[in-house]
Structure 1
């Protein structure tokens, strides 16, 4: 990455972390709590800060639980789409199989009608009654061919019937999975709404000054975590080289900044965390899993010191949050309800690991 661009991004991250609470990573997630400075905070305010810190941690947990439920919802949605496609494919096979079986039955019926027109005698009997030797020899060959054709016809009918039965069983199994997925999705939606509602209720009970102070605590917690991460010296090891695909993903993600977070959303006007990262990489021509947990499971893991712009940073032990690394120690992500897609420090949340889409 060019030095001028590196300096601009570093400066942007520093300014954003210093002046806006939007840079806290959703503040829905636990981060190291700042130690109140006695000289900066009047003694009478200390107990209230302690109360607000408890509120901050409670909000962190509520929004974190909502993020976990959102991942479950997105996973159920993705499975439902695949199961629906499988059911449609099976339905087509059943229709085609039924048409084939009907054709085979027509052929069998034609053979039966031919035998009836021959006086009900089988081909072998009519052949034995023939007085013409050449006709006998020619007929013998036709009888053998007829036997083979009949055997093949019966075999085709049997296999087609078995296929139809298997398709029906498979379709039934897929319907059951689809129904189970529907229930899982409904339960996840209920859990998301429950957690978000509880968080909003808690925030609504705060007075204006308390909200401002809470925002200050959130900002300081994020800034402290980022400072500790940078002070570890990790940025000195990260080279910030970028691939062509990674550059496209970064360009897409940063262009979404300012758009609201909405759980389950994949754009173009709103996003959740994994909706943003999956669409960013889709814009670069690379399909990746929809959820942060599946992104962590399925994509290539790379050491933090080797990460480059476009890589995905997975956060928390349960892989419940994901962001796209843009370089110079910064990420762009969709934080949580009530926030917008924003730029912040990569170390503001506990990093589980880094994954790389593409080759």
Structure 2
């Protein structure tokens, strides 16, 4: 059932201004490679759904905006002529139809020959592991099974592009965690070009090949999850992808590329040279004995057990507090004085927001 030839998507200078003058999407240029799963990731109102709807043909962009599927300009085509498949957060399954009929719906509309229809639907039922459930209606399925039906229906008619709008939002946290890996695996098997809208960073990291981080109608940075997490180019990207501590240093210390915490002077990575604002992840800070040489000294003001880790808040001189992650069996307790160390390569410069 995998697509033999995948489609690229080129988004060229796409923008959306609403009648009241509100900018739903700032001019955006983005490429989705053939067979790639790209996540549009950001908080509510950042423009990710607007961009998805423009790709689908459900939203009319500003003059001068262009959408290309391979070399075909689909900018002015209605949704029914763009050959897109869509999967929504509430699945939008036909409640009166069986699993089989829901998946076959698009093929029947296209008047697909019955023998080909049976073959394609059978392949999809195998792919999404719904064997034996073909005659059930959506109300008789679990949330995960309904999600699989929705995916199979969305790709049954061999769309050039698959668009997923918050497909896991309707699921509870435990089911969402197990199904995001399944969805990722199925998208790889299908080898279909997909754009996936979500506000959940873990979901995006698990499913997408690359992510486009959006904020206030703009794409701030594009890359794979590890690159964006380790080398964010924008302070919003750093804070949105996980937690981060932000610290300031003087121009003199920026020139020397060190950071003073209390009586300790910590060396920083060469990439931080000249930056007066620094970032460090909670998991990249080491807690040691307060008397260890070269360590900054602080007091634990809060200790929270998180199951897989312990989260500490450590207060340092000059009203600086750091959020620090340590192992779940760490002995530190609120009120303890501890030492703080950070390896130079863990410091990140905070870029100036555009």
Scaled by the length of structure 2, the TM-score of the pair is 0.21
Scaled by the length of structure 1, the TM-score of the pair is 0.21
Higher Rg of the two aligned structures: 1
Identify, as 1 or 2, the structure richer in helix. Answer: 1
Identify, as 1 or 2, the structure richer in strand. Answer: 2
